[in-house]
Amino acid sequence: MIKEKQAAVRNIIIQGAPAVWTTVMEHDMHGEELQQFIGETGDSNEYGGERQIAIFAAIKRLKVTVHDKTMGKLTYGHGHEFHLLYSHINDENGEPNHYDLLEDVMSHRRLQASSKKAGDTKEALQSVGMVLSL
């Protein structure tokens, strides 16, 4: 089940990347790195990271803020905001190697007041959660 969701999110990123690439990856205006990115994103043996989060945020029109104990915070995209914690799991040196979704409970409750927004928020939360497991 999780692998199926990961595959679906990877596909969203792969399919949407060409449309947002030059907006997000301003250093690569000719798209020279795009095919490599698509290959990496499609490889289930590769973990997703900063570039996948940035592209996903642009495709889904989300604002994703990544919190890290060493870098502070990095923000990608614009729109409804979600927070990720870049942390470590099973790393002997405590080096970050994993993203965890941090949910703002109060904001989430306010959005649940509208069933349409609640549905959109749930879908976005699930999507962002799955991109973490890329």
**pLDDT tens-digit map of 2-21:** 566 888 999 999 999 999 99
Indicate the residue type of 57.
A
Q: What is the pLDDT of residue 74?
A: 92
Question: Which structural domains are found in the chain, ordered by start?
Answer: 2-132 (3.90.70)
C-alpha to C-alpha distance for 40 and 118, rounded to whole angstroms: 32
pTM over 0.95: no
> How far from the centroid of its chain's Cα atoms is residue 20's Cα?
14
Evaluate if residue 106 carries a pLDDT over 80: no
Token couple for 51: 């570039």
Token couple for 9: 């999110």
What is the C-alpha radius of gyration for the chain, rounded to an integer number of angstroms?
A: 15
CA angle, 62 then 53 then 58, to 5°:
40
Token couple for 73: 């915070």
**pLDDT tens-digit map of 54-105:** 999 999 999 999 998 777 899 999 999 989 988 877 667 777 677 888 876 5
